[in-house]
Amino acid sequence: MTATTETATKTHPAIVTNPWESAQRQFDAAAELLNMDKSLRAVLREVRRELVVRFPVRMDNGSLKIYEGYRVQHNLTRGPAKGGIRFHPNVSLDEVKALSMWMTWKCALVNIPYGGAKGGVIVDPQELSMRELERLTRRFASEITLLVGPESDIPAPDVNTNAQVMAWIMDTVSMESGYSVPAVVTGKPQEIGGSEGRPAATGRGVTIVALQACKRLKMDPASSTVAIQGFGNVGSISAQLMEQAGFRIAAVSDVYGGIYNPAGIDIAKLLEYREETGKVTGFEGTEPVTNEELLELPVDILVPAALENQLTSENAPRIKAKLVVEGANGPTTPDADAILESRGITVVPDILANAGGVTVSYFEWVQDLQSFFWEESEINARLENIMVKAFNQMCEQADSHSCSLRLGAYLVAVSRVAQATQVRGIYP
């Protein structure tokens, strides 16, 4: 029987702000303040490599479907490229380029020896069976082995990918190499070299910097309410750990919608409810809100932990939170940033706020290369030390230049990459 073939098409909504343009604007602001040489600026504001692949996947009904995917490396000056892989119908090359640049600055800010990369496939994984998802993952992994490897480019989970997806990638690379290569990915199951503390690392990092920001702003966690947009790995772990730290979680949302209770939501019970129903909406004792409404609720702290471009020039004037902690990558557009800053709202930028994941991914990679593993208590202590140090360095730069925390973070990160580039020189 001849297999039929169809092509997976992009289903982009109207994109108001191009994430790649946003990333470049953020870089340009730091480069200007650093008085960076124009030639060096030209090197750092572009990606080094971008790989576009189109590949067939056999579906369960015997048909073939063509998918498009990307792997982009922004910079490798300070070490191997590092960055997640996302599966989402709205993945685009410009989005992946922006995410790869943000990864460069994120790794530099927390001072781990990586450059930035990112990958993605245009797909809605909820429409695939588990067998189809595995075949798609393995084929995409095989396509990008041109770039990935434990000493060149190390993927990790991102939106709609998880430890199982990383296990399939690791196994695919290992089978094609003829021996196990555990260090080719991070965020994988502990049974094949994953690290203790990795699943909770990003949410733990969000909580650590939220506590540091509260100290800076003289806010009491026990009397502070929090709204979290996105209740995936980052959002749900952030909710759990922030609740344990004394914050009152007043609202959360997922792809189906949100819930709100100003008196606070019991996160443990909500997790049980979601396990039963697959969503947070309808949880007893809460009122429904949309993802858009959640952002504008009267809370003290807002944690956007979903996708980019959630805080825009349109809704920024209506944000009521005093503090925004960016659990997602690029949730605030540059125009929104300017509005929030003019209104006195503090934003802890994504390149620090969600850097807990890549920091513990670095720990995982080191452990894999050594074949020697650490206890979770040691991992969490090392993570907190790195995050607090980076937070303080960001604040020092922001205070000395009288600028936002985002620009302060960029000044730390961009200057590190620029110095490394100057020291290495240009080949040949």
Catalytic residues: 118
Q: What is the DSSP letter of 10?
A: P
What torsion do the CA atoms of 172, 162, 134, 190 make, to the nearest 10 degrees?
Answer: 50
CA distance 257 to 319: 18
Q: Are 348 and 311 in contact (CB under 8 A)?
A: no
Phi and psi at residue 368, in whole multiples of 5°? -65, -40
Q: Are 94 and 74 in contact (CB under 8 A)?
A: no
Q: Can you read off the two tokens belonging to residue 407?
A: 């620009």
Q: Are 148 and 110 in contact (CB under 8 A)?
A: no
- Where b means 16+ CB within 10 Å and e means fewer, 120-131 reads bbbbebeebeee
CA distance 94 to 88: 14
Strands 301-304 and 323-325: parallel
Residue 419 CB coordination number (10 Å): 13
CA distance 96 to 103: 10
- Where b means 16+ CB within 10 Å and e means fewer, 67-82 reads bbbbbbbbbbbbbbbb
Strands (E) located in 4-147: 5-7, 49-58, 64-75, 81-88, 115-122
- Cβ contacts of 101 within 8 Å, gap of 6 or more: 20, 23, 24, 27, 47, 74, 75, 116
CA distance 199 to 163: 8
